[in-house]
Amino acid sequence: MISGYNQRGISVDLSSGKIEVFPLPEEIITNYLGGRGWGAWFLHEENQALVDPLSSESILVIASGGLGGSVAPTSGRFSIIFKSPLTGTIFSSNSGGFWGHIFKRTGYDVLLIKGRAAQPVYLYLSEDKIELIECPELWGLNIPELTQQLQAKYSPQAKILGIGPAGEKQVRFASIMNDLGRTAGRGGGGAVMGAKNLKAIVVAGRKTFPPFQREKYQTGLAQANKLIRSMPVTSKAFPLLGTAGLVKLVYQHDMLVHRNFQDTSHLPENIEKISGETLRRTIFRAPRGCFNCRIRCARLTQVDHRQGEGPEFETIAMLGANLEIYDLPTIARANYLCNEYGLDTISLGNTLGAAMELFEKGGLSSPETGGLELCFGAGHLLEELVRLIAHREGLGHELAEGARRLCQKYQAPELAMVVKGLELPAYDPRSTLMQALGYATSTRGGCHLKGGYMISLGFFGGAREVDRFLVETVADHVVDEQDSGCVADMLGICRFAYFAFSENELSRIYAGFTGVDLGPHDLKRLARQVIDEERRFNLKAGLKASTDTLPTRFFTEKIKIAGRQRAIDRENQFAYMLNKYYEIRKWTNDSNLKTNKIHPK
């Protein structure tokens, strides 16, 4: 018996109402660890690569991390894995808060959602009860309303995961929300839940997990916590300013996106208006943190008489700087609505940027926008656009399809700043070659997290900091960061904690908690196997190696970065980096991967 795990999962067929508890074999646990790893395993086993993500045949996997139930720093994260209705790729989206910690304490490690309910339902899960309950009266509620009603029925301590109107309307970038302001944001998981008529999952659990080897466990915990306290970004910057503290830093490195990635040029006074320092002086009310997190990067804010979480860096950048909207209250109000409706702010801001460029270049006309003057800087339209998209009304119906489909419809695919259909986040890839390669090779599409959070090495990596334009070393760094990110996703650890500690501390904590002795290199090896499995899924789903690329803009349009006009050299820089990346991963072509795939029997 492996300590630290429940070693069982639940399968729920919404079509029939059948609920089954199944054992989770030890070889699945030790080869895939949890979270993102289990998702890759189950989606392979259920042959999901060719399934329509919004059909009843699709499966949603919700998995706790391998350190879920422990007191490892930031260990409350969980993963939701599905085939994305936005990209067609395998998609692992994770979230913090407290829901994942309580889910693990119900006595189950993983939840498989299959089928489609005839009418809206929610799932209630505790240590002694699993119940599927019809709830047509909850359909249409936003996230605060949904949370209030379900907690009133059960307990204020019950944790609620659910979708808002955007998920119900199957917006392709609808989020799955938990704990009001936490989100499994990217890829359209909310749309998958909406297509299944699954409104919410309520969890209430108290089970505890004593460590297998307490001394090793405590030693690892002490070292990890010490490193968090000593690293400036985790001990000072994020606790003081939250992720919004990145605004000035990213701007100073000529990386902060502007006008749908046309450049990274902003007036300094405009950056000051949306900076983390200004947020703290004006709308900030209190810090917030997820389970067992001393970093506490989330912000409780207030605008007028409304309170909510955020906006965080990505939201400020994509709904603010990217759209030429330099007004924090406007961005915050739109962010509150996104949390209430369940919308991914990265894909939202990127899609709006594409629509605004289309409009300004004549690809979208006023009749097609319902009379809305969809220009950059139109902050007065932001909340209305959020509402239209969440309810798929008017122009919002087309915007709800995401940037790629929008630009294809209006015959300007080159204006969609996406990779594999996923809208790029707030870092212009021309500003660091590591991020460029990370975007291109991420198995879920244009993502700074699954692609490798390369800003950590390029800007505040301390002793690990590297030259962001040095072509020869890019592939090695990207592979290493992607593997570390996958380890974090498998164990349920926040990426921000990785600024301070690494697999060295995690391997000790994991061994002490579970009794499974895996060293740092073992964790990386297992992560590579999971990434290989995700690659196989995508190839089987019909994606080609040619999708490992970037929008043409980044190869052909030069912008000023670090004192020089720069674009990415496709034939020399990019081709070299990509070929070296394939060589390290031992990936060959569209039909074959050289690495051996582990599939427990």
DSSP three-state, residue 433: helix
Q: What is the mean pLDDT of residues 205-216?
A: 96
pLDDT in tens, 72-88: 999 999 999 999 999 99
Q: Report in angstroms the alpha-carbon separations of 234 from 99, 259, 462, 494, 498.
A: 23, 31, 13, 12, 9
Task: State mean pLDDT over 448-465.
Answer: 67
| Domain 240-419 of CATH type 3.40.228.10 | no
- Mean pLDDT for the chain overall: 94
Does the pLDDT value for residue 205 go beyond 90? Answer: yes
pLDDT of residue 458: 59
Burial per residue of 513-549, b for 16 or more beta-carbon CB atoms within 10 angstroms, e otherwise: bbebebebebbbebbbbbbbbbbbbbbebebebebbb
R_g of the chain, CA atoms, integer Å: 22
Q: How confident is the model at residue 1, as a pLDDT?
A: 78
Answer yes or no: is pLDDT of 459 > 70. Answer: no
Report the pLDDT value the prediction gives residue 434, as an integer from 0 to 100: 93
**Please, which pLDDT band fits residue 454 given cuts at 50, 70 and 90?**
confident
Over 90: is that where the pLDDT of 28 sits?
A: yes
> Contact, 159 vs 177, CB < 8 A?
no
CATH class of 8-204: alpha beta
Which pLDDT score, from 0 to 100, does residue 327 have? 98
Q: What is the pLDDT of residues 547-576, one digit of tens each?
A: 999 999 999 999 999 899 999 999 999 999
For 430-466, b/e burial (b = at least 16 CB within 10 A) is bbbbbbbbbbbbbbbbbbbbbbbbbbbbbbbbeeeeb
Helix (H) or strand (E) holding 515, with range, is: none
Q: List the one residue out of 444, 429, 537, 518 whose CA is nearest residue 485.
A: 444
Predicted pLDDT at 462:
53
Least confident range from 451-465, 516-530, 559-573: namely 451-465
What does the domain layout of the chain look like in residue ranges?
Answer: 8-204, 240-419, 432-499+519-593
pLDDT mean over 168-181? 97
- Residue 214 has a pLDDT of 96
User: In this structure, which CATH number among 1.10.443.10, 3.40.50.10310, 1.10.530.10, 1.10.599.10 belongs to the domain 432-499+519-593?
Assistant: 1.10.599.10
For the segment 302-312, what is each residue's pLDDT rounded down to a tens digit?
Answer: 999 999 999 99
CB 93 within 8 A of CB 185: yes
If you ran DSSP here, which 8-state letter would residue 572 be given? I
pLDDT at 460 over 60: no
Q: What is this structure's pTM?
A: 0.95
- Is 598's pLDDT higher than 80? no
Task: Write the pLDDT tens digit of every residue in 469-501.
Answer: 889 999 999 999 999 999 999 999 999 998 899
Instruction: Give pLDDT, residue 595.
Output: 42
Residues sharing a CB contact under 8 Å with residue 24, sequence separation 6 or more, in sequence order: 5, 6, 7, 8, 9, 109, 110
Determine contact, residues 374/341, Cβ cutoff 8 Å: no
Minimum mean pLDDT range among 91-100, 229-238, 459-468, 515-524: 459-468
Assess whether pLDDT exceeds 80 at residue 601. Answer: no
pLDDT over threshold 90, residue 187: yes
> CA 50, CA 472: separation in Å to the nearest integer?
37
pLDDT digit string (tens) for 368-379? 889 999 999 999
pLDDT above 60 (res 461): no
Are 551 and 422 in contact by the 8 Å Cβ rule? The answer is no
Report how far apart the first and last C-alpha atoms of the chain are (Å, whole number): 18
The CA–CA distances, whole Å, from 135 to 201, 237, 445, 508 equal 12, 43, 35, 45
Whole-number Å distance between alpha carbons of 490 and 32 = 7
Q: Rounded CA gap, 334 and 312, in Å?
A: 12
Q: What is the pLDDT of residues 273-320, one digit of tens each?
A: 999 999 999 999 999 999 999 999 999 999 999 999 999 999 999 999
75: Cβ–Cβ under 8 A, 6 or more apart, which residues?
Answer: 65, 67, 68, 69, 101, 291, 292, 491, 492, 493
The pLDDT of residue 588 is above 50: yes
Q: How many percent of the chain have pLDDT more than 90? A: 91
